[in-house]
Structure 1
Amino acid sequence: MGKKKNKSKKRTRKQNKKQIKDNYSFKEMDMTFKGAHDFQQLYLLAKEFGLKEPKFEEAFQKFEESYNQYKVLKIIPDRFNHFFAKKGWIAFENLNFPLMEKCVKLAEQGNPIEAEDALIKYFTNRKQVNFLANRLMALKEFQPRRTLMLNALEDHFSGRYHASVPLFLMMIDGFVNDFEHIGFFAENVELTVWDTIAAHDSGLGAITKIFGESRKKTTDEEVNLPYRNGILHGRDLGYANVKVSSKALSTLLALRDWADAIKAGKKGIDKEFVPPSFEETMTQVASFLEQYQETQKQKEHMNNWVKRELTVGEDLSEKGEVSDYSENTPERALIEFHYYLVEKNYGKMAKKVSKHITKDKTVGKLAGELREIFIGKKLVDFKLVNVYDNAPAISEIEMLLEFEREEEHTTYEIIHKFRLSYEDENGETVARGYKEAEWRIMIRPIQELEYLHIRKGT
């Protein structure tokens, strides 16, 4: 009888276990959409009495479409973990949403193998992985592992899985240890963080138990999961395959979202959502509708954007004064940046660096880092080579730079491609021409300006 009661309690706990869709942020959004629906009904009633507001008309026209998209977005992470967590894949905030949606649909149709093939294809694509890897390597807590990460990625992309898998597992364990003072695979590690996708019970909380499973038998049979104990203790000898490497990499990349949540102070919080009052809801809905309209206007502006086709030497000078270049253009910003370097004005250089990348640093700290980097290196000359408008808020510019090693009185030339983003005062990217913003140089990380090649003391 007692055993039956215990089983019943376990089932109850399992049934009461919260899903990702129960996260605080989703509950908030649920309430916002409900409020918007109520607001829409009030507005339709008000129209009967002659009240008509154009901005609400436009917003409500697309309300149902947005709500349907949101309903799908809300359930996909839970469905993804349901099908794939036991196989070694978890949902996380920055994982490509269309990919997750596609994999869920394939699994629901009875094609889980095809779904896993899609995941492997994604995590062996350099461009897609590099985006996520750069986000991870930008964290100061991860930067000591940057060289190791680059080597592991090269091994992974080159099919040297015997090397990439142990490196990914080592970095997973060590990175978590830096935050928690206990490794990712430790038996009593607690990786669940409030109001997150990656650090949900069904995400990292589940995967650590699977990857940390005890492996006591030596076998050379191929395994499909990156069992930490079996691999690093030399028991699972058949680990060197693309599936195991991709799953280990995926988990490592998901840790960026986990780390962000911890740095945002979400660790240890257990805050339940309390529905706002009717007045608060209406205020939130009005704000939401205004923001929605603003977003739609910006999208329309981006859709109408036309890429500039520029030839250096014909459409613009390869070298000139700052005033020779059109105002509010990426080329003018970059030319100005290098004139500041000639003048050794590191404070003004720091103000031209992307806030999105270096938002955790003050201008003074950036100026000090720049000064340290350029000690012993004098910029003698520079000129534009090519200008590429890649997107409404992104441009890339190739420059030829000539430096002098001041101690040796010798010079060297390099060509470097700079990436610039159009950012507002908060460091958020904005489509050029949409509103007042500024072109800034994306240097990540600031202490590793790769185009210098030769550093102080070398």
Structure 2
Amino acid sequence: MKIVDNPSTKELLNQIRAMESLESLYKFVPWANRLCPKLSEIFSDFSEIKRQAEILLLPDQFNETFASLGWIAYESLNIDAMRRAIEIAETVGAEDAEKFLADHYDEETLKWTILRFNGHPDCRKRLRLIELAKDDYLAERYHACIPLVISLTDGLVNDVSKHVGLFAENSDVTAWDSIAAHETGLQSLAKLLGRGRNKTNEEEITIPFRHGILHGRELAFDNKIVAAKCWSTLFAVRDWAGSIADGKKYPKPKEQVSWSALLKQLAENAQTKQILEQWQPRKLEQLDHLPNSSSLSMPEGSPERAVADFIENWSKKRYGKMAETLLDSVSTPLGKKAGQVKQDFGHINLLSYEIKSVEDKAAAASHVQVCLEFSRQNASQVEEIWIRAIYQNNESNPLIRGEEGGNWKIIQNGFSKVIYSLGV
């Protein structure tokens, strides 16, 4: 079984095949265009959809090429990096492709991927040591970074599975409908990295053999390739942990979609497309209420109002209200999420704020510029940050701003410079 056979991927491919059949039928029946003229607009963009759907095949191609070398595909791995690595392996060779992949794990990639660890409790508690490992990696202290990342990965699997670590003989790091946790992914990688190393080896290795490194039998493990593979494995485990938190350990009952439902969805998508084509970002004169330091004097339903409400709730220590507004990709219970918000924001004393400007980036996304004055450990500080707000419904699906049933959700990463003292 391949990753492309995962239910969500397979369902999408089946819908594309169904669309192909419908397109053929539409072109074959002479009177179809008169009966359903709007379908021609949908089919005009269908070739681009099919082209983009080719990325669904990349994870299998990546694992087939690199899994035996210690790299696997995972949800948060950059698609362009996957595609380019495969191209290099096919045209130049695996050695150059591995160097390219190692270079991909640079300061920027580590910074943004590590930020995702804030969204999972078992990942979050390891952030201090992960940051130390990142510092060692960027300083090329691979001898220090590699054992630490391996041990953190092993412990994270142990905590999430509540059973054993990644390298135990009976470890199970599979999950339903997952890329990282597919049987050709982490499960296969764990067997490779967990191989016994019964003899002391002084030759350089390019695979992070856990037992040989931690038991002192591999004496030339400290290189960039091995270190990058350790980060890759840790990030894949983070995505597996997210799948488990999302309830994807076991499959859910499949809902059957009828042809009538499919056609209705196509009609709705066509209507959405029309609205999207008409959408325009606000002009400067429409933002004459900025800069501003009061949510009540900002337009209701605007992203800047949502950010201002969030900040004012922060100043009043209303952590439950803040938790309701934050984007949550793992469906954390509200009480637990409020506790996490208190832990992240509670040690900061907010003194004042000002919403300075807004950039409407897309129909469902805006960036809000905020100037914050706050104190931490009795020291005052001023920071200017950009907060991203997403307009979505209760099922976490993006909507076009103004559509009924939507709310602005705030991405916490924008506050990282303040609450985590990170230089982002």
For Structure 1 versus Structure 2, the TM-score category normalised by the shorter chain is 0.7 to 0.9
Alignment identity in percent? 30
Distance in 2 (CA, whole Å) between partners of 1:429 and 1:135 is 19
Give the letter aligned to residue 134 of structure 2: L
Query: Measured at CA, do residues 247 and 388 of structure 1 come closer, stay the same or move farther in structure 2, by a change above 3 Å?
Result: farther
Of 173-182 and 292-301, the range deviating more from structure 2? 292-301
User: Is residue 423 of structure 1 aligned with residue 391 of structure 2?
Assistant: yes
User: Is residue 185 of structure 1 aligned with residue 162 of structure 2?
Assistant: no
Q: CA deviation at 1:185?
A: 0.8
Among candidates 442, 445, 448, match of residue 411 of structure 2: 442
Among candidates 19, 22, 35, match of residue 39 of structure 1: 22
Q: Tell me the equivalent position of 1:332.
A: 305
Among candidates 282, 296, 303, match of residue 259 of structure 2: 282
User: Is residue 214 of structure 1 aligned with residue 184 of structure 2?
Assistant: no
- Say if 1:32 and 1:281, in contact at 8 Å, map to a contact too: no
- Say if 1:190 and 1:205, in contact at 8 Å, map to a contact too: yes
Among candidates 220, 230, 236, match of residue 254 of structure 1: 236
- Say if 2:136 and 2:144, in contact at 8 Å, map to a contact too: yes
Task: Tell me the alpha carbon deviations over residues 22-50 of structure 1, each in whole angstroms, 9 at most, x when there is no partner.
Answer: 33333322321222122223333444266
Structure 1: gaps spanning 5 or more residues: 1-17, 454-458
Q: CA deviation at 1:166?
A: 0.8
Summarize the alignment of residues 20-419 of structure 1 with structure 2, pairs less than 5 Å apart: 20-48=3-31, 51-70=34-53, 72-124=54-106, 126-180=107-161, 181-267=163-249, 269=251, 280-283=257-260, 285-287=262-264, 289-290=266-267, 292-293=269-270, 296=273, 300=277, 305=281, 320-343=293-316, 345-351=318-324, 353-356=325-328, 359-362=331-334, 366=337, 379=350, 381-384=351-354, 386-387=356-357, 389=359, 391-392=361-362, 393-402=365-374, 412-415=380-383, 417=385, 419=387
Secondary structure of the residue that 1:222 maps to in structure 2? Answer: coil
- Say if 1:319 and 1:382, in contact at 8 Å, map to a contact too: no
Q: CA deviation at 1:284?
A: 5.1
Query: Measured at CA, do residues 451 and 265 of structure 1 come closer, stay the same or move farther in structure 2, by a change above 3 Å?
Result: closer
- Say if 1:24 and 1:195, in contact at 8 Å, map to a contact too: yes
Q: CA deviation at 1:240?
A: 1.2
Task: Tell me the alpha carbon deviations over residues 200-223 of structure 1, each in whole angstroms, 9 at most, x when there is no partner.
Answer: 222112211111111122233221
Give the letter aligned to residue 138 of structure 1: G
Greater Cα radius of gyration, structure 1 or 2: 1
Give the letter aligned to residue 391 of structure 1: K
Distance in 2 (CA, whole Å) between partners of 1:97 and 1:424 is 24
Q: CA deviation at 1:147?
A: 0.9
Query: Measured at CA, do residues 153 and 386 of structure 1 come closer, stay the same or move farther in structure 2, by a change above 3 Å?
Result: farther
- Say if 2:167 and 2:191, in contact at 8 Å, map to a contact too: yes
Query: Measured at CA, do residues 263 and 287 of structure 1 come closer, stay the same or move farther in structure 2, by a change above 3 Å?
Result: farther
Query: Measured at CA, do residues 297 and 256 of structure 1 come closer, stay the same or move farther in structure 2, by a change above 3 Å?
Result: farther
Provide the aligned length of Structure 1 versus Structure 2. Answer: 417
Secondary structure of the residue that 2:310 maps to in structure 1? Answer: helix
Distance in 1 (CA, whole Å) between partners of 2:349 and 2:354 is 18
- Say if 2:147 and 2:214, in contact at 8 Å, map to a contact too: yes
Query: Measured at CA, do residues 154 and 428 of structure 1 come closer, stay the same or move farther in structure 2, by a change above 3 Å?
Result: farther
TM-score w.r.t. length of structure 1: 0.77
- Say if 1:138 and 1:444, in contact at 8 Å, map to a contact too: no
Task: Tell me the alpha carbon deviations over residues 87-115 of structure 1, each in whole angstroms, 9 at most, x when there is no partner.
Answer: 11111122112221222222222432332
Q: CA deviation at 1:118?
A: 2.1
Distance in 2 (CA, whole Å) between partners of 1:375 and 1:250 is 33
Distance in 2 (CA, whole Å) between partners of 1:102 and 1:411 is 47
Distance in 2 (CA, whole Å) between partners of 1:318 and 1:50 is 52
Q: CA deviation at 1:309?
A: 11
Distance in 1 (CA, whole Å) between partners of 2:4 and 2:278 is 33
TM-score w.r.t. length of structure 2: 0.83
Distance in 2 (CA, whole Å) between partners of 1:235 and 1:450 is 43
Query: Measured at CA, do residues 47 and 144 of structure 1 come closer, stay the same or move farther in structure 2, by a change above 3 Å?
Result: same
Of 435-444 and 38-47, the range deviating more from structure 2? 435-444
Task: Tell me the alpha carbon deviations over residues 266-314 of structure 1, each in whole angstroms, 9 at most, x when there is no partner.
Answer: 435599x99x6xxx45235325534654675576467x54786999xxx
Q: CA deviation at 1:233?
A: 0.7
Give the letter aligned to residue 256 of structure 1: R
- Say if 1:421 and 1:440, in contact at 8 Å, map to a contact too: yes
